[in-house]
Amino acid sequence: MGFLSVLSMAHKWINERTSPGDIVIDATAGGGVDTLALAELVGPNGTVYAFDIQQEALDRTQERLSSLQNNNKLPDIKLVLSNHASMAETVDPSIIGQVSAVMFNLGYLPGSDDLTIITEPATTLAALDAAIMLLRPGGIVTCVLYPGHPGGAEEAASVESWAEQLPQSLAQTVIYRQTQRKAAPYLIAAEKRPTAR
């Protein structure tokens, strides 16, 4: 049977904490896989923000969402051409403390002509701080890390350190990874405490 992949586990944890009509964020739109999954979860009454610094990624995401649009099942989609570090300043201020899930899938855009464009520790950490602030109590942040590409191990280590230092009164954090394969992708998640403010 095997264990779930890191991406499947991220989706499972988000599915358990997200309902139709919710507000969710894809912090790294990429090819739109996570954006589509989030859009299907929240349905036509929900809201999905998707951030990416590459127009190519947002174009791919828009194309992937076309099946929902054709069936009138598309939520309110906001595709944002911006670094995810600007998340807190970009979203509608009224959603602060109302977001049920924020997904990160770090690294580079698969299939891109320029694989040197990658997520960076400083902006990722700023985005993670924003994500925790935007979450509702009981909401979740998932972050898939790729230590196997240049720059990926440093970013993974910085995210791991961020998760370890989050106050337990604010959130609980977990790591999901294959312990025998140090370069394999792995998942870190943070769930905001139900009583957190």
User: For residues 72 and 51, what is the distance between their CA atoms, to the nearest angstrom?
Assistant: 23
What's the predicted TM-score (pTM) here?
Answer: 0.95
Q: Where are the alpha helices (DSSP H) in 16-138?
A: 33-42, 55-64, 66-70, 87-90, 121-134
Question: Who contacts 133 (Cβ-Cβ below 8 Å, separation ≥6)?
Answer: 88, 96, 97
Nearest one of 119, 121, 41, 27 to 79, comparing CA atoms: 27
One digit per residue, pLDDT tens: the chain, 197 residues? Answer: 789 999 999 999 999 999 999 999 999 999 999 999 999 999 999 999 999 999 999 999 999 999 888 788 899 999 999 999 999 999 999 999 999 999 999 988 887 877 778 899 999 999 999 999 999 999 999 999 999 888 899 999 999 999 999 999 999 999 999 999 989 999 999 999 987 55
